[in-house]
C-alpha cells in the first residue's frame, strides 16, 4: 500500500495556525500608556492625518480608555492633561484647525457638495463656529458646486430629456433629483434654478452672474 504525501503540518494542528492557547491565537496585550507614549501617539497621528484639535483629543482619550494609564513606582496612576497636550501641539503647528477647515471645505466643494454639507462636516470635526463661517462657500461657489453635482448625477439640463408622455414618471424623476441635491447639502433655491434651466449654458450664465457680483471666479 502506497502512503500519501507527507503533511508538513504538525499532527493535530490545522494549516495556517501558529501557536495557540486553548485553540485561540495568543494576543499581545499592549502596556498602559505613559505620558511620553501618549505624546508619541499624538505626534504620530498628527503626522499621518489632517486633523483638528478636537479630533486629536478624542483619539487620545479613546486610546486611554483602551489601554489605561501607567502607574508610578508607588502604584499611583499618572493622570495626563490631554487638553494641555493637544493645545501644545496646536501651538507648535502640528495641528491647525484653520488649515483643516480650509482644506475640507475646498475638497467638498470640488466634489459637488453644498454649504450645508460643508457646515455639518466641519462641525462634526470640532471646528469652531467662527472658522466654519470663515470657510463657508460664497454664493458663486455654492452655485458652481450645485452645478457640478447635477452634472455628475446627470440631473436637469445635464441629463436626458424627460419623457413628456408620462407626467407621473416625470414628476417622480424631478422629486428624486430634488432629494438627491438636497442630501448633497444644496439650498433649495439653487436646486430649483438648476433643475429648471433649459440648458447647461443657462446654468453657466447663472453661475457667472454670481461670480461677477462677488468679483470672484466662482471657486472657493
Q: pTM for this one?
A: 0.79
Of 73, 92, 111, the residue that ends a domain is 92
Q: Is there a domain that residue 157 lies in?
A: yes
Percent of the chain with pLDDT over 70: 83
Same-domain status, 123 and 46: no
Task: Give the list of residues 6+ apart from residue 7 with CB closer than 8 angstroms, or none.
Answer: none
Same-domain status, 103 and 172: yes
Same-domain status, 171 and 147: yes
Number of domains the chain is built from: 2
Q: Is there a domain that residue 14 lies in?
A: no
- Tell me if residue 25 falls in helix, strand or coil: strand
Same-domain status, 111 and 155: yes
Of 60, 76, 92, the residue that ends a domain is 92
Same-domain status, 195 and 176: yes
Nearest-angstrom CA–CA distance, 143 and 51? 28
Same-domain status, 108 and 85: no
Same-domain status, 121 and 85: no
**What are the percentages of helix, strand and coil residues in the chain, rounded to 5?**
60, 5, 40
Asked whether 207 and 140 are in contact (CB, 8 A), the reply is yes
Question: Which tens digits make up the pLDDT trace of 152-191?
Answer: 999 999 998 766 678 888 899 999 999 999 999 999 999 9
Q: Is there a domain that residue 19 lies in?
A: no
Task: Give the list of residues 6+ apart from residue 91 with CB closer than 8 angstroms, or none.
Answer: none
207 phi/psi in degrees, rounded to 5: -65, -45
37 half-sphere exposure, CB direction, 13 A CA radius: 13
Same-domain status, 48 and 143: no
Q: Is the pLDDT of residue 217 over 70?
A: no
Question: Which tens digits make up the pLDDT trace of 31-41?
Answer: 899 999 999 99
Same-domain status, 121 and 208: yes
Question: Which tens digits make up the pLDDT trace of 129-149?
Answer: 999 999 999 999 999 999 999
Q: What's the N-to-C CA distance of the chain in angstroms?
A: 80
Range of the domain at 167: 97-214
Amino acid at each position: 500500500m502506497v502512503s500519501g504525501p507527507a503533511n508538513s503540518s504538525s499532527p493535530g494542528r490545522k494549516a495556517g495556525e501558529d501557536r495557540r492557547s486553548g485553540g485561540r491565537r495568543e494576543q499581545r496585550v499592549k502596556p498602559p500608556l505613559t505620558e511620553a507614549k501618549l505624546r508619541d501617539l499624538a505626534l504620530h497621528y498628527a503626522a499621518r492625518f489632517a486633523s483638528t484639535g478636537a479630533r486629536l483629543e478624542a483619539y487620545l482619550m479613546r486610546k486611554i480608555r483602551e489601554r489605561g494609564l501607567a502607574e508610578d513606582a508607588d502604584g499611583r496612576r499618572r493622570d495626563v492633561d490631554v487638553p494641555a497636550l493637544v493645545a501644545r501641539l496646536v501651538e507648535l503647528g502640528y495641528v491647525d484647525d484653520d488649515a483643516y477647515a480650509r482644506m475640507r471645505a475646498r475638497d467638498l466643494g470640488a466634489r459637488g457638495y453644498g454649504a450645508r454639507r460643508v457646515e455639518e462636516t466641519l462641525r462634526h470635526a470640532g471646528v469652531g463656529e467662527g472658522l466654519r463661517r470663515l470657510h463657508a462657500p460664497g454664493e458663486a461657489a455654492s452655485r458652481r458646486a450645485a452645478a457640478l453635482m447635477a452634472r455628475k448625477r446627470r440631473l436637469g439640463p445635464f441629463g436626458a430629456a424627460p419623457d413628456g408622455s408620462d407626467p407621473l414618471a416625470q414628476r417622480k424623476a424631478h422629486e428624486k433629483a430634488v432629494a438627491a441635491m438636497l442630501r448633497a447639502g444644496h439650498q433649495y433655491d439653487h436646486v430649483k434654478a438648476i433643475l429648471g434651466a433649459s440648458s447647461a449654458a443657462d446654468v453657466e450664465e447663472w453661475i457667472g452672474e454670481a461670480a461677477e457680483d462677488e468679483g470672484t471666479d466662482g471657486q472657493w
